[in-house]
Every structure is written in C-alpha cells, then in structure tokens.
Amino acid sequence: MTAAPATLFDLLTAAPGTGGCAIALLPPAAPSAPDAAPPASPARRPSALRRLAVPLLPAARLVLRQPQVRQLALRILKRSPGLYARAYRMMMASGGAAAAAGAAQGDAVATLSPRANAILRSLRTLQAGTLRQPGTRPRLAFVAPLPPQRTGVATYAVELLAELSGHFEIELVVAQDETILPPGLAHLPLRQAAWFLEHGADYDQVLYQFGNSPFHSHMFALLERHPGVVVLHDFFLGGALVHAQMSGASPRAWADALLHSHGYSAVHAAAGSGQAHKDWPCSLPVLENATRTIVHSRHARRLAGDWFGAGAAHGIDVIPHPRTPPAVHDRAGARAALGIAADTFLVCSFGFVTPNKLTHELLRAWIDSPLHGDRGCALVLVGANHDSPYGVEVEALIRGAGPGANIRITGWTDAAVYVQYLQAADVGVQLRTNAHGESSGAVLDCMNYGLATIVNANGSMAEFPLDAVWRLPDVFAVAELAAALGTLRRDPARRAALGQGALALLDAHFRPVQCTRQYLATLAAARAQTQARHAAWRAALAQAAPANEEQLQALATRLADDTIAMQRQLLVDVSDWAAPGAPVDALAARQLRELLGQARPGWRIEPVWLDTSGAAPRYRQARNAAGRVLGLDWPVQDEPLVDVHPGDVYYAPDAASTAVAAACGSGLLAAWRARGVLVNLLVRDGGGGDDAMAVPAPAAADRLLCASAAIAQQLTADSGTGAA
C-alpha cells in the first residue's frame, strides 16, 4: 500500500501501477476554502428576482434585439452601477440554465449523448447522400458581421474576403438587415442565418468569424449544427454569450457554456455577479465544435492551454491579423480636413474608450508631461467614450486638465475620419490591461501608417519587437509613459525609426498575401480531416447497414465512444442521492465540493448518476443533485448522457452503492475499463458477514480507496496481494 497523494484529486487521477487492483488510503480531507460552496440546501421556490424577471423578459429581449435601443438602454444603466447589476442579475435569473428537464432541443435525441447526437446528424446527411461533390472551387460559407455593422470584425471580414474570393465560391451568411460591400464583393450571394441553419450541410466548408460582441450571438447555434473553421478574434466570449441568452437568440448559451467550459465551481462563483461574463472565457464549446481554430497571437493560443489544458491548444493555428498597406497617405490633406495645424505634435489613441485601454493612465501621463503645457501639442481620443462611471471619470480628467490642455474625445467616427486621424497623427498610444486573447486592430492600424506607436507588454502586444513599437512594461508607471511621450516629442528621428520598423514587420508577416497563404493551409488541413472522418463514417455505415433509426442511433453511439475528447473527465457517482428529495450523502457531498476546488486545467469534474430506465444502464450528468449540494438557485435541469472517453476517471464514493453494483453487474464499468477509463471505488468499512458481499471484488476496479488503515490492511489480506 502506497502513501496517499496530498489531495483526493491527485490520488484519483494517478496511474495505479501494474499488478492488479491497487489499494490506497484516503488522504485527509482538505480544509474548507473561505469561498467554498455552501452546504446542500432544500428545494426552494423561484426567487423573487426570477419571478420579477418573468413579466419583464419579453420587453427586455425586444430591447436587446434593437441595436440603437440597446445602446441607449446600456448607456443609461451603466451610469448607475447598482441599477446595472440588478438588471443584469434579473435577466440572468431568467436564463438558459433554467430549461425544464426533458425539454426538446431541436432534433436532439434524449437517449443519446451530446457527441452521439452530433454524429447522428452527420450520419443522416451521409446516408442521404446530400453532401456536395467537390467542384473546381470549393463552396465556402463565410459567417461574419459585415458593414455597416460597427465592429472591427466587419472591416476585417471585407479585407479577408477580397483575398479568399479567388479561391472559393463564397456565400455570405449574416444576421443583419442591411449589408454594404465594396463593388468587388457585391456579387457574393447573401444568406440569412436562419436559412443557413437548415442548409449548412450543402457547403464544402464553413468559415466563422467569432468575436465577443452581440454581432456574433447567432453564431453559437450555427457552429454547433455546422462545424467549421473558426477565426477566434476574442478568446473570452462571455459578452456575446450573455447577449445570446438575454436576447433569446440562444436562451441557454451563457449558462451552458459556463458550465461546460468551467464546471460547477464557476457556476457557483458567477451566481449573483454582474461581471462573471468578463471573468470566464466560456470558449471551450467553440474550440470543440471548430474543425480548426485560427487566432492572431501566440498569447491567445497559450490561453487555450492555460484554461482548458494542452489538448485545447491542439488544432489552433496562429495567423497574423492582416493589414493592407494604405492606398493614400496624405498627411497635409488629412490635417487640413481635420483642422489641425501642420506643426502640431498630434498624439492619438484609437478605438472605443474603455477601462481595459488604460485611458486614465494616458490622460494622467499627458497632464504630468511637458506636453500638457505646450500649445503645439494635442491629444485626441479617436472613438466613443465609455457609457459608464469610467467614461464620466475620463471626462472629468479632461475638464480638470484646464481649457488650454488641448485634449478631446471625437466620439464615434466613420471609417473616413478614422483614417484621416491615422494619416495626421505623429504618435499612436494603444495600451491594454487584462488582455483576453484579442489582438488590437488599432495597434496594427497605427503601425500600418508608419506611426511611432507606444504599447505596453500586455497580451499579444508583448510579441511586437522593440524596433517596431515603443514597448512599456505590462504594468508601467505613469512617469514611464510621460517620459516616452516627451522623448518622441523631442526626437523626430526616433519616431521615424519606429515607424519604419513597424512597416518592415508588417511587410514581412502581416500583409494579406502572406496571411492568405496561411488561411488556405488551415482550411485545406481542416477539410482533409473532415473528409477523412466522413470517409470513415461512410465505411461504418456500409458495414453496419442500419435498417432503421434505432440502429442508426446505435451506430452513432458506438462512433461517439471512439472519439478523442479535448478534456479529461473525473466522473463522480452520486446516484444514491441524485433523485429529488433524496437525503444527501454527507461524505460524498464534502468530497465533491473538495474535488471541484482541486481540478486542474484540462480536467472537468462531472457528477453523474446511473440511469437504468433504458435497455442498458447509462450514466447521465447529475446537474440537479450538484445544484442542490452547491446551493445553486436554478430550476430543474436537463441531464444529458455522459460522453466517456479513454483517459477519463470514474469514482464512486461508496463501493457498496446499489448503482455501483448495477454498473458492475451490467458490465458497464468493465467496458469502460477496457476502453481506458480508470475506475476508483471507496470502501468505507471492512464489511463482515452479509455486508462483505456488498463490496465489489477487487477485480471490478483499478483502485480501491480505503477510509482507514484497518480497512486497507483487511482488503490487502483478503485479496492475497502485497503492498500496492
């Protein structure tokens, strides 16, 4: 018998070694964390917040679906943080996690796992023979917001489409009433998202542009139904998911993505928070549904591994954010149009004013520097101010600088005025904090116009070389920024050198022709992988020759069992107290909360219960039991079947459980072990007499955990083995 690892999680997930069933001593219980989940609570009536949300929900969703009305409502709410937080909680209380058990989800089959359902949809398409045969050029569905939508992704999409149109038959998929495209792209067919949901299988490939804004809320459902290559402009997608849920576009989007991506601990931590969508990426479902993923920085790919484990970073390609050289760079004309004197030293910061762009620090550095008192210097924030108390503070700082400070905010500008400021500026300042995997298009815009650009080493901006930008530390002092501004004011040669270095970097790596080659390679690799998978499924169809829907579903289940998962699971059996009203097992509940606090990236802790209602026992997610033991105030949940893969771990907190006996007796656990699932059983007492028969034989498990040294010694003696 070996010494137990320090934590229960480490013990359960450790390899048991060879030579039969291992016997290990249960490690001491971990001390309760200050923010540990509360003990189990009895079923409660819907909270007052949720009851209030019900009559207001239709009106709120109507507001959220109208961009102009939505922006006005948010502007009002964000000026009162308390009111905003209450409105947010009210909307989320109505949310997607509140689906009734058994509610239909499209054409999903309730007796199949999520992965088996996805495969079943593909098998139906393959069986019908409706997949399009390859032509001279592949038919590509391009899913993205497009102009005139006020998002940088729309501008990016137009630039990319111009490069890809020579290689594919492209059709555009949108969820907007008006689309304005340049003449060279105006001939491309337009499809609405609702149409594409039904016809997406007709394309050779799909390319999605995902960002963290309401403009992308419709894409989650499309990607789940029709997997494709995803360009992930933002690694954190909580904002888009919350909008999808609140607006009703996808009523379970945020809650399901939070649970699937980060587990019950995140759901518990997010309860009642108005900022949870900013704290958790929730992008795992997008990574899992993508055939391949494109990000624009190594930082974004590292985030995938940091949050979801090494497996999540596989299949992610880093392709720079492309920038086309400007056709015109008329500094004098731009300054004349903007009313800026030819000899003014102009510093600009581009994009919406938001807290994560450190606008306060820029303003304080300007005010503390000699530029503040120099009438020949001007600071312009080119973009709309933040509709929140932060934006109010920005305005107060500008007023406090005095009437001669020459600082102003332009408000929202169209593309023409935005470009005029890029041509007119001498220096660009683009700062960031708490980068979430996004790449700043504004930084690249500054560099593309040859500006000396000041950044700080936050997120992807840390990857720019020092000869291309003036790079401050990630966490910098205001005095450092003030010194940089002063130096660039005094040293035109330094400004010119940085501008030339920026252009050289873009010419080498960021021009559309180079990026398009990498895009084509990623699309080709994804298509080859999809074709190989479909060929294998066609062969399986031919071999199985399913004669009816039931046989087709059985084939989908078998194929799902053979897939490789992005994350490993620790399945904790709570069958004995999963039923509504069943008394909670105190030890098992304590261990479940302990395990939830010990999970590592690449692992998910999944409480499960054994469903014996069908032809064969199957495990389902125990969402309702977990909700009770964690004190989550949510309604009755759907509980899908569990997808189980090699490398997963199963743990029963009581080896004498009737569910364990049923899982062993049906051969389910033996089948799992044969597929590479590690089975752990906790023996709570040594048995004796009739009780001994309730504990499965050591051959049923890879490891028996023991509640005491005496039990471990007895099991070792009874099994006839030595120290494990």
Residues 441-499 have pLDDT tens digits of 899 999 999 999 999 999 999 999 999 999 999 999 999 999 999 999 999 999 999 99
- What are the C-alpha distances in Å from 268 to residues 182, 273, 418? 48, 10, 43
- Rounded Cα distance between 112 and 313, Å, is 28
**Cβ distance 653 to 587 under 8 Å?**
yes
- Total-model pTM: 0.86
Flag the least confident range among 26-40, 425-439, 538-552.
26-40
Flag the least confident range among 43-57, 70-84, 513-527, 677-691.
43-57
Angle in degrees, CA 336, 338, 339, rounded to 5: 65
Flag the least confident range among 79-93, 272-286, 401-415.
79-93
Per-residue pLDDT reduced to its tens digit, 253-282: 898 999 999 999 899 888 767 678 889 999
Instruction: Provide the pLDDT for residue 635.
Output: 83
Q: How confident is the model at residue 72 (pLDDT cuts 50, 70, 90)?
A: low
Whether the per-residue pLDDT at 103 is higher than 50: the answer is no
- What are the C-alpha distances in Å from 255 to residues 368, 463, 559, 654? 45, 34, 28, 31
Architecture of the domain made up of 332-507:
3-Layer(aba) Sandwich (3.40)
- Rounded Cα distance between 641 and 552, Å, is 17
Whether the per-residue pLDDT at 77 is higher than 80: the answer is no
Q: How confident is the model at residue 713 (pLDDT cuts 50, 70, 90)?
A: confident
Q: Around Cβ 413, how many Cβ atoms within 10 Å?
A: 15
**Cβ distance 543 to 589 under 8 Å?**
no
The residue that leads in pLDDT, 581 or 34, is 581
Q: What phi-psi label fits residue 663: left (phi over 0), alpha (psi between -120 and 50 degrees) or beta?
A: alpha
- What residue has token string 């990630």? 474
Name 302's Cβ contacts closer than 8 Å, sequence gap at least 6. 313
Outline which parts of the chain fall under CATH 3.40.50.2000.
332-507
- Rounded Cα distance between 551 and 209, Å, is 37
Per-residue pLDDT reduced to its tens digit, 32-47: 544 444 444 433 444 5
In what order do the strands lie in the sheet containing 703-706? 22-25, 703-706, 678-683, 649-652, 568-573, 603-611, 618-621
User: Mean pLDDT, to the nearest integer, of 393-411?
Assistant: 89
Q: How confident is the model at residue 404 (pLDDT cuts 50, 70, 90)?
A: confident
Residue 670: Cβ-neighbour burial (10 angstroms; 0-12, 13-18, 19+): middle
Instruction: Provide the pLDDT for residue 87.
Output: 59
Instruction: Provide the pLDDT for residue 97.
Output: 39
Q: Around Cβ 396, how many Cβ atoms within 10 Å?
A: 11
Instruction: Provide the pLDDT for residue 355.
Output: 87
* Averaged pLDDT score across all residues of the chain: 86
In what order do the strands lie in the sheet containing 169-174? 190-192, 169-174, 139-143, 205-210, 229-232, 293-295, 316-318
Instruction: Provide the pLDDT for residue 371.
Output: 93
Q: How confident is the model at residue 181 (pLDDT cuts 50, 70, 90)?
A: very high
Whether the per-residue pLDDT at 51 is higher than 90: the answer is no
Q: How confident is the model at residue 722 (pLDDT cuts 50, 70, 90)?
A: very low
Q: What is the 3-state secondary structure (H, E, C) of 451-501?
A: CEEEEECCHHHHHCCCCCCEEECCCCCHHHHHHHHHHHHHCHHHHHHHHHH
Whether the per-residue pLDDT at 721 is higher than 80: the answer is no
By three-state DSSP, how is residue 89 classified?
helix
Q: How confident is the model at residue 58 (pLDDT cuts 50, 70, 90)?
A: low
The number of angstroms, rounded, from the C-alpha of 456 to the middle of its chain's C-alpha atoms is 25
At 354, the amino acid letter reads: T
Instruction: Provide the pLDDT for residue 462.
Output: 95
- Rounded Cα distance between 476 and 404, Å, is 27
- Rounded Cα distance between 531 and 498, Å, is 46
What sign has the CA pseudo-torsion 715, 721, 722, 724? negative
**Cβ distance 319 to 519 under 8 Å?**
yes
- Strand pairing of 618-621 and 603-611? antiparallel
Instruction: Provide the pLDDT for residue 27.
Output: 87
State the greatest distance between any 2 C-alpha atoms of the chain, in Å, as a whole number.
Answer: 98
- Rounded Cα distance between 141 and 139, Å, is 7
Q: Find the length of the chain.
A: 724
The residue that leads in pLDDT, 346 or 34, is 346
**Cβ distance 721 to 23 under 8 Å?**
yes
The domain defined by 114-318 folds into Rossmann fold (3.40.50)
